[in-house]
Structure 1
């Protein structure tokens, strides 16, 4: 479980093809304090298991499914990424509950300045749009954000200067793909309502 509050930036340091899936090594811009082999780290919102690490780097295996269903399939050496260690008891929950299980890939439609902030408009896959609500939460490339407006499968968010400078979102351009994770509460609520309909 994660919060969507990015703790460090990093980059893809190595990519190794392994019979249909890949092993990647990631270099962090900060120490990976307390991380041990087997721990979870969210990389651009994708929950990965650290299999080997040192003070500033860790390796992870990415399955064929992860490569197919997230932007990870297009990651190459040098790609900048957002990093967050798993939530621990007593850690502030500054964003919202994030699982690191990416629901789909969306795309940035446009970005424009709004005072000192930036407005970003994204398009989500149609099957995810029903989970995105105005003033609800969404995780984009691992970053917890508040939805400002929704129109069909398109939605807007406001990016403050701090978030723009401390995450990879500042480098996004129109057309770029992003990992999306919708609010887990919306998914469970839908399942509960479906179950009640099945019983009636």
Structure 2
């Protein structure tokens, strides 16, 4: 589902042009189109406001009415962009279909991996579990490379390298909250011994 809105006010300048939200009511992402496309930028320069696009990658099954979906998206939008509360819609284009992969929190563990237990059966697409961060087109493309490499490996052929972002950063990993062990400060340390 995509809903493009031409509205009478802009979001804060510090906002990134594309935001993944995972909103509780269905809003998955917001694109600030006037910061991404020249035509939308020109429109905003001329009349002010913003051109934004709301994305819901998997419309909830129980939501069948356009009006209900719009209400849910607007409620979510104001959670993430409270500075535009009270905005007026100048124009809109709404498209709702059930043809997209969902990327909601907690679902990664239930996705199939690229290689299946059956010899020669592989999976590719943006819905496949990957060993590195990628989603949407990048996820589909990367899973296709992994699937092709699995088939090449079966035939003893050369695999293609797959470049990705570093899986570890410069800083040491942060322990999970349950793994933290807090040592009580000694009385000397707390009094500034010495």
Which structure is higher in RCO with an 8 Å CA cutoff and minimum separation 6?
A: 1
Q: Which has the higher helix share?
A: 2
Q: Which has the higher strand share?
A: 1
Q: Which entry has the higher C-alpha Rg, 1 or 2?
A: 2
- The two structures have a TM-score, normalised by structure 2, of 0.24
